[in-house]
Structure 1
């Protein structure tokens, strides 16, 4: 028991009650003994006269916290002013707000994969602000899932959304719970901001105007409490005193009754009058046209308010006789979302037991309504728990255990959008979301009529290499990059993802007739190619013939396969565990993690877990890495003679316009050209593959001539006024020319043992002993590897030694 010798004993029993535990004891004493008007001896309570740090902190909070101002009710007239000025924001249901939240938090890149089939592209959605920023457990959405999700969200604001439940299903460890928690958190934050705010009905009934007998003067709850306590023997606080004090409220001149279904205030206007009211209120613009014509706004004109609001409206109209007086008592306040309190968002886990009482009433409020309207049968203050999330989100975490019962209960609600509460029909227009593991589909198989009400959205394991790497960065930190050679961590992700894909792709094999020609860059089942496409890339090594064969129909087939992949293989948790093992074993200060270490590690994994990684995939991945790193070294060794390359290409473009054995002046270089097969072949040997037939050469010449006459000259040069070097034809030939020169760039160095030793001795004192030309070549190579491909000096040395020691130039000759 709290004792204070400075206080009269007869008052002590007042402070034992826990009914008003939100007040501190000392402040409570000050309010009661001083009646809020008399000064109190602060020293007797141990309070220092000068401001304490705590008081200064409270003053700071008092000046900075303004949420209560934002949440204050406004009159119906003020709400209509908001509708007039911001109709698109004020006239939104939960589906439209959810869609707006997604659009506001997802960034879109305008870059496309293939110009000729843009409509079938995987859009580059950046979901960082939606799932990562501000989250304790980030969720990383790959490009496939982001496109799938945004497609469903775009359709969310159209049509009859309320007659459907959205089930996100996927295998264990794919991140479903993290995804939904982050999604709901972002929605809660957005819905409580100015951009996402909606208003709900709150009635402020004037007791005096309605002829009630309540006290018209303002009285504080504390004063009323003291008054009631003094009338009780011994000053005892009991339930009767507490109820009377709460019933009194802070201002007994009014009774405030919020809409338990969170209805938009516009729904209080009778349906037959809404169209004319909004027509008069909203100016003629694009939104008004959408409001009156689009399906997504049908609810504005056809939805009905809850039964309690309808009863209050009808009773007030009958009592007051004038609609204007009724609407004077109608107010609007922001619809505040709070998942923890179940306000607007309710999330149920399988282990959460259903409550015993599904029908809720408030006898205190009901008594006050009965006293005010003098009719106990006029207004029934009764509702279900679904009302708390009406116009909000109702979510189930996994359809199992008690959530199966909840899912069954949703059957009629989703079908009819109506829930029976005793004799009353309660409208339920919520966004229903659920998570489901594949094996839990059997829990709803007994409801075939439910199937057309379910929209499944697949959440597979990550199938995008870049997203998988982002997960490693999030778990282990970005500093882990410092321990890897470039491309090695990405290849770790490719091995993990290979276990999640089908080993054979019918669509890819239908598209690429001869997969063996890409053996240097890809596996025989083209899984590496599929990973690139799933990441939004079409590799440069795909030749022109196959690019032309990639029609929109074929593109759709390839992407459709992603719907059936990612449901097996290494889970997200497996991937993190395996990466931790790999990194712990091979990360060292004196040596970077390379491809041989990666392949060695996973060969042991294959032994422990057979059939997880497709046969031959590791060998194909290593071959692709070897080829790419060889090209990097060649690129870094290559000295450009840009003037000569440009001159050769311009002369070649000009020469194909003339007959063999003729002479002509090139209009681009002003040189006189003797057009012979030998002249053309000397340039073609740098432009095209070695040892091509004469027929193939002639075909290529005709292609160059056709492109020049139909596009480069007539459109790009004559109309767009481009220089020949800016045309697509020149750029394409330039790329071919440089590529073929690089193929031979290593040849002068392969037989030179000093060159290999100089690389090993780079950045040491022994490096000074080498020939000036060798030192210059090695420095040029290392510096280019660092600046062009992101290597450290140590990493550049290690990979160059790897290329030479493994004889990669001979391997890919």
Structure 2
């Protein structure tokens, strides 16, 4: 009993310390002290707050072979151990951040940010992640947010001088001459009225005095105007250090610089100012500044509006805690209304309109004015909002809305941000890995299961490129790109075999143009195809297939085949084939062949017939000879200790192996140019030939294993014999080789006995039948 009491006391102490440490309640003078310490932090609009939240979690530059992209740390959800994070979509991240920057520079939110794309492309995940990041940010010292309440004390505190309350009756200042009523106990309060729109406490300061105060405490500030968009200012703002509050000029928003109290707060403020004969110091005694937190659960500055058939705000009569007699006489004679609804709850934060165009169009018309002016008209008043407005829309619904007369007006008040399906299967695979990790599977997961799902999904999304838009040097290559070659190009920068280094570099340079094809139309690459939702369903169904002991690629292939048999289920299956593209049933065979390539290579490598380093040594030696040959110089022979002419036979043997089609001299010059370009792009990084020329290393491996095909097949057959438990039929050396191979498969590639057996049997039956 004593232990539980001690535990409760400890919890109570910690809660109280947290409450006080977080400064949950302050008087208005205390808030002004906090403002004086961090004026920029406490003078932010909603756009500045959301923009700073992006900066709080940091950003990183991710180098891609076709150019760098920026990834914002908040989308990794570090505040929630990475749970339900956003994978990819860096272009959308960059666009939204730029829009927030634009709102900051203009001093107001004057457009709605509309994320649009196909079903399941992570639009809602994008907004959900931002809201979750804001929730955590609001709990930090840097992200503290404040609103205020009006406090009216009870009669028992009235004794002495009149302050003009209650008509002909008198109310008095309490005997202890409190400087603020903010910290009164509940029994000493007759009425407490919360700020209906979570008004910023600075709005309590009259406009003229507020502007002077801002100018005094914010050392370098900007009033938004057309001049603020100069290149010089943009450079200064873009170079702002997010950890230094005084690193760059601070843009004062319209809300803080010119804004005013809500209608209800203005009524109360004016009534108090009249009652106190203009004594502002007495008015603010009634102000209790309260810290609030962004919360989706409690609809505080983070609200999602589902498709519905009603307006998003309204009015209702205000009722107070105890007695209207606690209010000034001028307020007792008025009917006070308070606004309510989604827009009110979301003020000073973010509101999301989920599936915007699924609502009846009449219920979106008010957004034309609200998104541009930040106002919404109710029965007898206009609400002035400080809210970042976001929405999501399915591409088909957006296309339909574009045909309506209202779209031209709507478009001018909306910023469109496209969120397509991913086209990089290495990134797509991360989604499936994390989806699988969140499910409690009873089966083990075989290597490459998520890979085959990701590759097939991406293949279904790719479009045939428009070859005539590209330079003559590579036009034929672009025109011949198969879906798999295009997927490899997007994901790894891997070019088709035998096109030569110069054309390979040119092809890589136009990848951004390939990705941007159709960007200005409704039929862009990444709009159609299998969504992660469909692929998750395939993976879950595959996990329940009793024919397979593990969740394996073979089970996934079986589920894919079931899916494509009925094209009526999903629209992407109904698309007309375009050359080799949109042939989703054939893509299963394409992916199956790629899977066979992978396991063939892994199983052969696991046999230990040749060490991986030997390929690197062979290729390095070849490059040394090529380099000296081009210079007309000799090569140092480490064995003989002499300088000798470059070995023409060695170079010819290598070039025959990797099967190039160019003139030898042009081919060799192209190799050295590619190596030089790598060194320039990666200063200080050791040259990795396998990274620069992966296709050549694959050709070397293939050539080596072709020479030993019969030996490899025999080892694979012995593996199956071993799995069947008939290892007595194997010689001691054969058994040792099998056990080494199996151990390498487990340690290097993550196989278990069941998945290794399945992979070996599948490979033998598919490629080594004869």
Q: Is the 1:205–1:255 Cα contact (8 Å) retained in structure 2?
A: yes
Aligned to 1:602: 560
Aligned residue in 2 for 1:153: 97
Give the equivalent residue in structure 1 for 2:642: 672
Q: 1:480: how far off?
A: 5.3
Separation of aligned partners in 1, 2:635 and 2:59: 50
Q: Name 1:302's counterpart in structure 2.
A: 258
| 1:417-496 alignment, distance < 5 Å | 417-421=374-378, 424-441=381-398, 442=400, 445-447=404-406, 448-460=408-420, 465=425, 466-467=427-428, 470-471=431-432, 474=435, 483=444, 485-496=446-457
- Between the aligned partners of 2:696 and 2:424, the Cα distance in structure 1 is 30
Deviates more, 1:89-98 or 1:650-659: 650-659
Q: Supply the distance in 1 between the matched residues of 2:132 and 2:672 (Cα, whole angstroms).
A: 60
Q: Is the 8 A contact 1:148 1:457 kept in 2?
A: yes
Choose from 208, 226, 237 the match for 1:272: 208
1:639 alignment partner, one of 597, 610, 617 = 610
For the 8 Å contact 1:365–1:381, the answer to whether it is kept is no
Cα distance change, pair 439–546 in 1 and its aligned pair in 2 (3 A): same
Q: Distance in 2 between matches of 1:674 and 1:504?
A: 50
Contact kept, 8 Å, 2:515 with 2:525, in 1: the verdict is no
2:355 aligns with one of 390, 393, 398 = 398
1:129 corresponds, among 68, 77, 86, to 77
1:747 Cα deviation after fit: 1.8
Measured at CA, do residues 63 and 464 of structure 1 come closer, stay the same or move farther in structure 2, by a change above 3 Å? farther
Stretch of structure 1 that moved more, 368-377 or 423-432: 368-377
Tell me what 1:260 maps to.
196
Shift of 1:165: 2.0
Question: Which residue is 2:44 aligned to?
Answer: 92
Q: Is the 8 A contact 1:201 1:265 kept in 2?
A: yes
Aligned to 2:63: 112
Residue-by-residue CA offset, 1:423-453 (whole Å, 9 max, x unaligned): 5443122222333344544569343322211
| Long gaps (5+) in structure 1 | 1-49, 219-247
Separation (CA, whole Å) in 1 of partners of 2:151 and 2:737: 85
* 1:79 counterpart residue number: 31
- Deviation for aligned residue 1:183: 4.8
Q: Cα 1:209–1:406, aligned 2, differ >3 Å: closer, same or farther?
A: farther
Aligned with 1:538 (options 485, 493, 503): 493
Shift of 1:198: 0.9
Q: State whether residues 131 and 182 of structure 1, in contact with CA within 8 Å, keep that contact through their aligned partners in structure 2.
A: no
Q: What is the match of residue 181 of structure 2?
A: none
| Closer, same or farther: CA 473–73 of 1 in aligned 2, 3 Å | closer
> Comparing 801-810 with 428-437, which one deviates more in the overlay?
801-810
In structure 2, the residue matched to 1:34 is none
Once residues 709 and 181 of structure 1 are traced to their aligned partners in structure 2, the CA distance between those partners, rounded to angstroms, is 45
> SS of 2:390's equivalent?
strand
The residue that corresponds to 1:245 in the other structure is none
1:233 maps to which residue? none
Task: Tell me, in whole angstroms, the C-alpha distance in 2 between the residues paired with 1:667 and 1:297.
Answer: 72
Matches within 5 A, 1:369-384: 372=328, 374=330, 383=339
Separation in 2 of the partners of 1:337 and 1:734? Answer: 49
Q: CA deviation at 1:164?
A: 1.8
| SS of alignment partner, residue 666 of structure 1 | strand
1:628 aligns with one of 598, 609, 615: 598
- Whether contact under 8 Å (1:343, 1:389) holds in the other structure is yes
The change in CA–CA distance for 1:153 and 1:363 in structure 2 (over 3 A counts) is same
Q: Who wins on radius of gyration, i.e. which is larger? A: 1
C-alpha distance in structure 1 between counterparts of 2:668 and 2:509, whole Å: 29
Contact 2:62 2:70 in 1 (8 A): no
Change in CA separation of 1:698 and 1:389 when aligned onto 2, cut-off 3 Å: closer
Q: Which of 649, 654, 664 is the aligned partner of 1:697?
A: 664
Q: Is the 8 A contact 1:350 1:397 kept in 2?
A: yes
- Taking only aligned residues, the RMSD between alpha carbons, in angstroms, comes to 5.0
Which region of structure 1 is more displaced relative to structure 2, 563-572 or 373-382? 373-382
**TM-score, normalised to structure 2's length?**
0.74
Distance 1:709 1:185 in 2: 45
User: How many Å separate the matches in 2 of 1:620 and 1:454?
Assistant: 42
Q: How far apart in 2 are the matches of 1:479 and 1:621?
A: 27
Aligned with 1:412 (options 358, 369, 372): 369
Give the 3-state SS of the residue equivalent to 2:464 in structure 1.
coil
Q: Is the 8 A contact 1:686 1:737 kept in 2?
A: no
* Residue 141 (structure 1) aligned with residue 86 (structure 2): yes
CA-CA distance at 1:656 after TM superposition: 1.5
Match of 2:186 in 1: 250
Q: Residues 71-93 of structure 1: CA distance to partner in whole angstroms, max 9, x if unpaired?
A: 64312332222223333432222
Q: Is the 8 A contact 2:356 2:391 kept in 1?
A: yes
Question: Residue 199 of structure 1 contacts residue 333 of structure 1 at CA under 8 Å; is this kept in 2?
Answer: yes
C-alpha change, 1:260 and 1:552, in structure 2 (3 Å) is: farther
Deviation of 1:170 after TM superposition, in Å, equals 4.0
- Corresponding residue for 1:211? 164
Residue in structure 2 matched with residue 187 of structure 1 by the alignment: 134
More off after superposition, 85-94 vs 544-553: 544-553
Aligned to 1:358: 314
Cα distance, 1:308 vs. partner?
4.2
Distance 1:131 1:546, change over 3 A: farther
